[in-house]
Structure 1
Amino acid sequence: MLIIDEKIIELDELADRVAAAFMKLDVVADFKARKLAFESDDELQQKLQTLEENRDYITYRPEIRALQQEILMTDAIYQLKIAENDVQMSLSDLAKAISGVISDAIVVDENLPLKKGGHHGHHH
């Protein structure tokens, strides 16, 4: 049974403050803006809906494969993925900082697909 004491409550409040501070980071604001742009692009959303409705036929319909390629090449999706990767990198950095306080032996799985390429090699 978990015993709730002042230290657990203090840790919970600290976690809330860390989360609130993280949400105020520029990288999170950029991600939110990119996500809103993606969701607000009616033409792109219609194409995504068409793709989803025809996903079972992608092997047999070259126009659906072409639509998928077109969607993947849109700037809105590219920018959203970059922003998402930046948020993941910031979360990873935070997790490494927290785990490093406990022990250098704790490994944080970054799982950042874009880390080695693009502007992420010189990330701030």
Structure 2
Amino acid sequence: MLIIDENIIALDDLADDLSHRFLDLAVVKAYTAKKIAFDSDDALQGKLRTLTENQAYIAHRPEIRSLQKELMMTDEIFQLKLAENDMQGALSELVIKIAGVISADISVDEHLPLKKGGHHGKKHTCGG
């Protein structure tokens, strides 16, 4: 049985404060704005739906392959992915700091596909 005491309440308050501060970061606000713009672009969403619905036939339908290439070159998608990567980087930095406070032996997987050094990210050990 969980005993709720002042420490648990304090930790809960700290977690709430941390999440609100994270959401107030410029990088998170930039991502949110780009995500809203991406989601509200009806033409782009229609093309994405068409591609998703026809994904199984991409090898046999040149117009679907062409649509995929077009979407891969779309600036809105590129900008959203950059903003997403920036936000994930900020979150990874935060997790590394939190893990380092707990123990230097905690390994944090930084799966940042657009980060320099490879597309698989890297593992960061808080101890160095």
| TM-score in terms of structure 1 length | 0.89
Fraction of identical pairs, as percent: 62
Runs of 4+ more than 6 Å apart: none
The equivalent of 1:78 in structure 2 is 78
Higher normalized helix content (fraction of residues)? 1
Structure 1: stretches of 5+ with no match in the other structure: 118-124
2:37 aligned partner: 37
Equivalent residue runs for 1:1-124 within 5 Å:
1-116=1-116
State the 1:49 CA deviation: 1.3
Cα deviation 1:41-92 (Å, max 9, x = unaligned)? 2211111111122122112111101101111110000000000011100010
Q: Counting strand residues as a fraction of each chain, which structure ranks higher?
A: 2
Inter-partner Cα distance in structure 2 for 1:113 and 1:53: 26
Structure 2 distance, partners of 1:18, 1:54, is 42
Gaps of 5+ in 2: 118-128
Structure of higher RCO (CA pairs closer than 8 Å, 6+ residues apart): 1
In structure 1, what residue type is equivalent to 2:53? E
